[in-house]
Amino acid sequence: MKFLQSPQSLLLAASLILPSPVFAAEPQKLLKGVSPKVIEWRRHIHQNPELGNREFETAALVAQHLRSLGIEVKTDIAHTGVVGLLKGKRPGQTVALRADMDALPVEEKLDLPFASKKRTNYRGVETGIMHACGHDAHVAMLMGAAEVLAGMRDTLQGDVMFIFQPAEEGAPKGEEGGAELMLKEGIFKRNKPDAVFGLHVTSNLAEGKIGYRKGPLMASSDRFEITVKGRQTHGSRPWGGVDPIVTAAQMVMGIQTIVSRQVDITKEPAIVSFGKIAGGVRNNIIPDEVQLVGTIRNFDMDTRQQIFESIRTIAANTAEGMGASAEVEIFEGYPVTKNDKALTTEMLPTLEAVAGADHVMEIDKITGAEDFSFYANEVPGLFFFLGVTPEGTDPLTAPSNHSPLFYIEESALEVGTEALVRLTLDYFEKQ
């Protein structure tokens, strides 16, 4: 796959990448030098967002930067993914660091000099494109961490894998993508790391604060669709057909009892929510079918399978009892994002040293999902959150991730870049 870039974007990308000079092996000095570049990279990527599996310019920028640092680079993984491998001069283990690159179909409403003006047609709807979840910051911080660690290669006692991943927000319809596809295409088969680290910016914490959790951190995320099939008839003669609307209504209520009556919620919480009910065109026509669409979230993989089976059973039995039929499709999404407890305990002092012990806190479980979970299912993983809400703004009322007003206080990026570097160095030292 060739990278498609305009001459203007190539010129700007090149201006942001300078050959890496020979640095003394002192991370603090290197971090200070790279911080302004991280902000410039982030602003450039923010102004030029790209949707999942279409991150051509972002991938080209990343690949060019890694090559300028003398890092071995592989491109076109999972469509637009980039993987860099930095080999230390001393033998040791391998650490993987991951950043996601894709933006969202959200029209930006921030008044910034580098605000996105890009637009696209997304699933038939004209919309803007925005880095409304902070992936622009993730890419920039990992680019900065790569520069710092490359400047220390003569003292590194191990190798570092830099994973720049497309389509964390999901691949376009009909395509595969994201972490699952990167693994399917063999990135861990070629160089399997001993540990993987990742972070995510969040409006739920003040700038520079770090949130973590041992064990399950973020929920699995799965989608289900149920097609309830009846037999169309006039609304004045319901006995002349089979009513899929009434059947669907009973099905919704029955499925809501899965969590309240079947799942052991003392083990882990779970959620089953319906987001769409569609059927019928007129007030006095009972239609042939009704479609139900919903989401499943939970923090235990065994419970996940139990919920799948309960949805199928309730849908089938409810439909049969009403003389209808039901087709159930469950689309498995992201598994539970689970932090390795031993790794988290081992690396917690590093996070506290970077942000300050009073700025590092254990947070509640999050019912959102992240495909970092696929990496952490393969090797011990640690995923944490970096606060980006400006001091003086209440994180509880700040525009959330995925909002057109999502805002990043850029001073936090220095903390995130240092955290990625220090986690790598300290992990090597502890092995």
- Annotated catalytic sites, by residue? 334, 410
Structural tokens at position 310: 């309960």
How many Cα atoms within 13 Å fall on the side-chain side of residue 357? 1
Q: What is the CA radius of gyration of the chain?
A: 24
* Cα–Cα distance measured from residue 208 to residue 416, given in angstroms and rounded to the nearest whole number: 8
- How far, in Å, CA of 34 to CA of 143, rounded? 9
State the Cα angle at 306 between 300 and 311, rounded to 5°. Answer: 125
Nearest CA among 53, 45, 54 for reference residue 9: 45
Q: Count H helices, E strands: the chain?
A: 12, 18
Distance CA 232, CA 32 (A): 70
Alpha carbon distance 338, 353 (integer Å):
23
Crossing angle for the helix pair 412-430 and 135-150, nearest 10 degrees?
50
The 10 Å Cβ neighbour count of residue 65 is: 28
3-state class (DSSP) for residue 318: helix
Specify the DSSP class assigned to residue 261. I
User: Which residues, 6 or more positions from 384, have their beta carbon under 8 angstroms from its beta carbon?
Assistant: 198, 199, 200, 210, 211, 212, 351, 419
How far apart are alpha carbons 248 and 20 in whole angstroms? 62
Residue in 167, 40, 44, 57 with CA at minimum distance from that of residue 104: 167
Q: Are 66 and 162 in contact (CB under 8 A)?
A: yes
Helix, coil or strand: residue 282: coil
Widest distance between CA atoms in the chain: 85
Q: φ and ψ at 88, to 5 degrees?
A: -70, 160
Instruction: Please give the single-letter amino acid code of residue 393.
Output: T
CA atoms within 13 A on the CB side of 302: 5
